[in-house]
Chains A and B, each alone.
Chain A
Amino acid sequence: KAGVTQTPRYLIKTRGQQVTLSCSPISGHRSVSWYQQTPGQGLQFLFEYFSETQRNKGNFPGRFSGRQFSNSRSEMNVSTLELGDSALYLCASGTPGTGANEQYFGPGTRLTVT
């Protein structure tokens, strides 16, 4: 079974631009979560999608948004990029339903904002 894939792996953007990151979950997984990882803040939960609906959201500004498609693939978008948005963005897929949401992570997208 193929793992979680994220594209692109590396991205360089300029402050003020917007960016879209993509995540393809493991086949059969319907939940996709997004995390931001920075040296200062560690791993922070952004949001989770399940069956095309946002189920949970972390404490991030509205510039961060996401969506999930009918095939469970997910995208996250960051508008009006700031220097502080430079981070590793990790996507994880899982099979919730029992409350034991074991998540499988992708390799991440390294975003650099200049």
Chain B
Amino acid sequence: AQSVTQPDIHITVSEGASLELRCNYSYGATPYLFWYVQSPGQGLQLLLKYFSGDTLVQGIKGFEAEFKRSQSSFNLRKPSVHWSDAAEYFCAVLAFDKVIFGPGTSLSVIP
């Protein structure tokens, strides 16, 4: 069955530090992968997506993600975190026209 796992439920980083959020997926075919961010009381905003081609994809707000087929991973990175990045982050895979979300990683940023 298709699934998405995000091993880290909660991460705390200092402002200015680098960030990596992990995502692993299970899907038999070539995956379409997404990262979304949700601020408190808000809907989800698409950060970036991978469909094909270059395995390193750039997104909004300075985020990037790398697709590694051999590891079934699509980790999200940011070189320098800002306090406004504190939010919930969701990795997702498009499987048979359904978007399956991971459980989310909550990011806290220490000023």
Question: Interface on A for B, CB 8 Å cutoff?
Answer: 4, 33, 35, 42-43, 45, 48, 55-56, 58, 90, 92, 96, 99-108
Contacts and interface: CB of A to CB of B under 8 A. Distances in A.
24 contacts: A4-B43, A42-B101, A42-B102, A42-B103, A42-B104, A43-B90, A45-B100, A56-B97, A58-B98, A90-B44, A92-B44, A92-B99, A99-B32, A100-B94, A101-B32, A101-B99, A102-B46, A102-B49, A104-B46, A105-B36, A106-B43, A107-B42, A107-B43, A108-B42
B51 interface: yes
Nearest to A50: B97
B80 interface: no
A103 B43 contact: no
Contacts of B43: 4, 90, 105-108
A92 B38 CA distance: 14
A4, A42, A43: most-surrounded residue (chain B CB, <10 A): A43
A62 to B, nearest CB: 19
B69 to A, nearest CB: 18
B45 interface: yes
A48 B98 contact: yes
Interface residues of B, number: 22
The SS class assigned to the A binding surface is strand
A94 to B, nearest CB: 9
Contact of B94 (A90, A92, A101, A108): A101
Nearest to A101: B94
A33 B99 CA distance: 9
Contact of B97 (A4, A43, A96): A96
B31 to A, nearest CB: 11
Contacts of B99: 33, 45, 92, 101, 103
Contacts of B98: 45, 48, 56, 58
A110 to B, nearest CB: 8
